[in-house]
Structure 1
């Protein structure tokens, strides 16, 4: 075993232990002495990826592919680098993000052509293809992956997500339970199960499932993200982007008047749903959705709109109405500032 191979094995151990900084330190002298080693460049890309330094991971993957175009792992990390550098956080169906998304997918297809029996590559490609709307191709890839590895939990979870996109909640629940039978503490499996339960009109069960994921993995941000997303889906923000408030407010002649009315209706429904939650679940949801603040904001907005119409209809009341509107505006600002400070403290803890 050569000295380079020994050091490479040490890098592999560091990456497996979740120590990308140590791996980067070990790789630096190795690449200095052997700058055309595709395996080392691939390890460097993986280390940068684990450290969330995605542009550097992309550059290392490009060097790995240049050094050895027939190395499947190099194409795999090239795909990850392209996606995380140029697509992550953007809409992958538009503009430059779409172009880079296709490049990442093509890099994964190259990896699959070089390693046709690697189910992980197929699952990753299916996940990327789903982001650009390729549901049929994603299903084919996942089916092939499960033929190679029938108990591949990532493939099963992605199939469950695909079933949710197709609005087939019972199938999504079946697949999620299959995942949990193989890995009882799988956070993605519990998340998929929770979404399937919510789609089947079992919100309390769904929130309990997501809360159990948080209890099992309190340090996992994905578990908290599932619970937060489910809470917002069950108790939608009355004035949030994409809510029914803004959709119905587009009705000509009545749009402005409908905004506070619909917002009040959604708030009333949310409060009713919130009060019907079991006490333990209500306490957990309250950390994600502070209902009192939302009710206060909605009432302030409703009062401002109503007083505004009163002032327009009767000029004699314009002065007192202006004072009341100013008081409500000040109260609204105070409530929002207090909520922002409280929210930052919760995030800090």
Structure 2
């Protein structure tokens, strides 16, 4: 029994040192001798939660609460894990239950604020977060979460003050460094964003958000990418109607400029608009392709991003080959196919940005597009009669796929 207690104590020390994987192993060892121990189950669920295994953490938290229905640690983990899984009713229920048990516990008020932020209710989150701050003014995590709420509300000066105060209280706060990096990205990125995310990653090399944030920050060192990043953030802050108006501006402009299509200024204006649209859609996969050239940066990219970028490059290689064939044998169909492939390459390079609930659909559509492209190439090689009629349809499908990836 004493050995089990010692194992649990060592596990807690490792958890406090930010080594949850090692702590998890020791907690599981301690549980062998006392499998229904609510404290051990609660600590184990927290170690698993820190590793972002939300479903497993949720299930362990439920086991904790089965052993002790009023275990605060179990309720907090259940709330956080449920929010990570976007099971918000369960997350809210758990945190409200905890508040009824211990209304003066600052961590519970902070968790309520975090759940509200995850639900895109940052304005409402400020009240419980300020309550948590009043109960414990020296808690850096609360200040970092307040900074996250202000970031969501785009109140950047207030976010900056909250983040700075969090870092004053705890210079090693991973969340505060991540938020500082996000703040710099909202302002256009560059060196300061890289520095903040690199510091967060140094503090926890396994943290997924720090890795992805550093990858974006490294891309933002390209001034053009940084400007598009700021523009995208500004567009997202607008109402749905305003966003649609901006996104449809090139189409609206082409209609307005049609009576003047013989004028040079109109042609230049339309060309610039089209170039900006193409660049805004292609700069993400282009910058990811640049990161793939570095072994360090390549390891920062999630698997989905790498696959999307490889698909982008494969489509581009196919387009280049189609251009070479078209020019060599003077085939207009091959040149048209190249244009279609470029459209599909841009949409493929953004597949990882599609909402996770629709990502499988996007991947299946890309696979279908690749099969159609292969069939079109074979038809061109065989000089099939239906090719000229089929290619415009493939081109329109490519345009539709671009819009799908942009809005899905």
Does TM-score exceed 0.5, indicating one fold?
A: yes
Q: 1:237 to 1:177 in 2, by over 3 A?
A: closer
Query: 2:280 & 2:153 partners in 1: Cα distance?
Result: 27
1:162 partnered with 2:155: no
- Give the conservation status (yes or no) of the 8 Å contact 2:122–2:150: no
Give the 5 Å matches for 1:43-122: 43-50=43-50, 52-84=52-84, 86-87=85-86, 100-122=87-109
Q: Over aligned residues, Cα RMSD in angstroms?
A: 4.8
1:144 partnered with 2:137: no
Query: 1:28 & 1:250 partners in 2: Cα distance?
Result: 66
Query: 1:253 & 1:267 partners in 2: Cα distance?
Result: 15
User: Structure 2: any 5+ residue segments left out of the alignment?
Assistant: 237-242, 259-268, 284-293, 324-329, 352-408
Query: 2:118 & 2:349 partners in 1: Cα distance?
Result: 37
Query: 1:224 & 1:118 partners in 2: Cα distance?
Result: 32
Aligned to 1:234: 227
- Give the conservation status (yes or no) of the 8 Å contact 1:24–1:47: no
For these two proteins, the number of residue pairs brought into alignment is 284
- Give the conservation status (yes or no) of the 8 Å contact 1:38–1:67: yes
Shift of 1:101: 0.5
Give the 5 Å matches for 1:190-339: 190-197=177-184, 199=186, 203=188, 206-216=189-199, 217-218=201-202, 219=205, 220-229=207-216, 231=220, 234-236=227-229, 246-248=247-249, 262-266=273-277, 320-329=331-340
Helix, strand or coil for the counterpart of 1:161?
helix
TM-score (norm 2): 0.54
Aligned to 1:96: none
TM-score (norm 1): 0.62
- Residues 195-237 of structure 1: CA deviation (Å, up to 9, x unaligned): 44555xx53xx42221112443443543343344453663359
Shift of 1:61: 1.8
User: Structure 1: any 5+ residue segments left out of the alignment?
Assistant: 88-99, 273-282, 305-318, 341-349
Q: 1:197 to 1:44 in 2, by over 3 A?
A: closer
Q: 1:55 to 1:169 in 2, by over 3 A?
A: closer
Shift of 1:181: 2.9
- Give the conservation status (yes or no) of the 8 Å contact 1:213–1:223: no
